[in-house]
Amino acid sequence: MSKVGNLLMKPSQLLKIIRSPLSGQDVTLKPFLIKAGEPAEGIILDSEEVVGKLSNDKFDFLLSHTDKLKLTHQLSQGLKLPEYIDLEFKKELLHFSDSRLTYDNSWRIHADRLLLNDGFSSSNKLTIESSNAIKCDILFHAHPWSGFAQIKLDGVILDEIDLFNPGNSMERRYEINLDDKHHYIEIIPTNKKSKDSQGTQVIFEKIYFVYDEKVPITEVKENFINYGNPFPQIFVDLAKNVASDGVILDVGGGIRQLGDERYVNVEYSKYPQPHVFADAENLTFKDNCADLVLCQGVLEHVSNPFKVAEEIYRILKPNGYVYADMAFMQRVHSQPYHYFNGTLWGMENLFKKFRKIECSSFGKLSEVIEWILRESGVRKYVKSTEYESVISQVKSWDSLVKDDRLVYVASGIRFVGQKG
């Protein structure tokens, strides 16, 4: 996790480089909410056909059939003139050390940003004390090890929610309306889980209070934090040379954020950080629009990595750069959405249209061995001292594995290239 900048590319700027996923032509945005002079909600059209929506400042081109029908019906009824707002309700982020949060030592900070409980006992509740908020906005971290949580308001059960999410981790929002009086909210792990979950964990990402006070909508909301993988140094160096009005696309950026007006996170999963939700095999960007593309840890999770490489080539400007990497000897992860691993020669073939600047391996031998052993489950059946002795021995061999041999056993392969 690292702190980054505090600016975002505005929706009006982003619209200039977006194209239809159907025809590849320009799209039309029919806004019905304008916030501080920028479109925030609306319907995206290709001619007269609905292809996406703008929601909470995010462009979404992954609509369900039902969503498209609803938006099409809304359009047929005639859209009213857009609403303009310059004020919003005041929100306060509660830090996990805030005195209004009460919990015992069974809760722990995980990955520097999450508050986690393993969910083994219903006595390990977390209490949120509110005195004058009109709403409590709770962001849970739903993932394959999550269980059920019970939610109470002033001792009365409001809900019991299943926080399990298959394959990967997602934000799960739960809002509790209050009346600006004194209240106690209890979040109680139940030690219950769905049949597919691997655990009973209850995890918080963020907790907000919302107050009955309007404040100006400002361009800078907060200092953004990158919760995803660190940006590769090669990418960071290339980004320094992108012009101030240039475009940097992060294809499959996940929960990453850069806080840079040039940066656009394009993602398939509905995380809170991305700017655009789209399919990497059919990117909703115009030809020759990007100066730099990052595609890190994505290619093993798409059904057609060759199509993704073609799309990256299409959207890059002439002389634009790409940084991409892919799992090689990594174990299966984010199942069931892990389809392929790639060798050095496979990566060169994927990006054969580009002028190759570098194609190399990364990840020590010991990292691969430790990851495989941990995933295989053998650690549960051998003595801890025996296991640690094996790992220690393998680590001592890392320096013996030279680059020309590491390409056969590395964790992953990276490619850096330039569009001719």
Give residue-wise pLDDT tens across range 98-134.
999 999 999 999 988 899 999 988 889 999 999 999 9
Kindly state whether residues 60 and 187 are assigned to the same domain: no
Q: Flag the least confident range among 62-71, 86-95, 258-267, 373-382.
A: 373-382
Note whether 14 and 264 are within 8 A (CB): yes
Kindly state whether residues 251 and 295 are assigned to the same domain: yes
Confidence band, pLDDT 50/70/90 cuts, at residue 223:
low
Q: Report the alpha-carbon distance of residue 311 to residue 419 in Å, rounded.
A: 12
Once rounded to an integer, what is the mean pLDDT over residues 75-94? Answer: 91
Kindly state whether residues 202 and 229 are assigned to the same domain: no
pTM comes to 0.85
- Phi, psi angle pair for 113, to nearest 5°: -145, -10
Kindly state whether residues 187 and 269 are assigned to the same domain: no
Kindly state whether residues 133 and 177 are assigned to the same domain: yes
Kindly state whether residues 120 and 246 are assigned to the same domain: no
Which residue, among 402, 410, 369, has the nearest Cα to 388 in the 3D structure? 369
The residues pairing with 161 across neighbouring beta strands, listed in sequence order, are 149
Kindly state whether residues 276 and 393 are assigned to the same domain: yes
Single residue among 86, 115, 144 that ends a domain in this structure: 86
Single residue among 197, 216, 235 that ends a domain in this structure: 216
> Residue 58 in 3-state DSSP?
strand
Give residue-wise pLDDT tens across range 287-308.
999 999 999 999 999 999 999 9
Once rounded to an integer, what is the mean pLDDT over residues 225-242? Answer: 90
Kindly state whether residues 279 and 298 are assigned to the same domain: yes
pLDDT at 43 over 90: yes
- Phi, psi angle pair for 285, to nearest 5°: -130, 150
The CATH number covering residue 363 comes to 3.40.50.150
Single residue among 50, 70, 86 that ends a domain in this structure: 86
Kindly state whether residues 62 and 149 are assigned to the same domain: no
Give residue-wise pLDDT tens across range 363-381.
999 999 998 998 888 888 8
Q: How many percent of the chain have pLDDT more than 90?
A: 80
Mean pLDDT computed over every residue of the chain? 92
Note whether 53 and 71 are within 8 A (CB): yes
Q: Flag the least confident range among 44-53, 63-72, 212-221, 330-339.
A: 212-221
Kindly state whether residues 332 and 405 are assigned to the same domain: yes
Kindly state whether residues 206 and 119 are assigned to the same domain: yes
> Residue 234 in 3-state DSSP?
helix
pLDDT at 420 over 60: yes
Structural domains in the chain (count): 3
* Structure-token pair, residue 147: 């269980």
Kindly state whether residues 140 and 102 are assigned to the same domain: yes
In terms of residue numbers, what domain contains 388?
A: 225-418
Q: How many percent of the chain have pLDDT more than 70?
A: 96
Number of H helices, E strands in the chain: 8, 25
User: Residue 375: what pLDDT?
Assistant: 85
Q: Report the alpha-carbon distance of residue 331 to residue 377 in Å, rounded.
A: 12
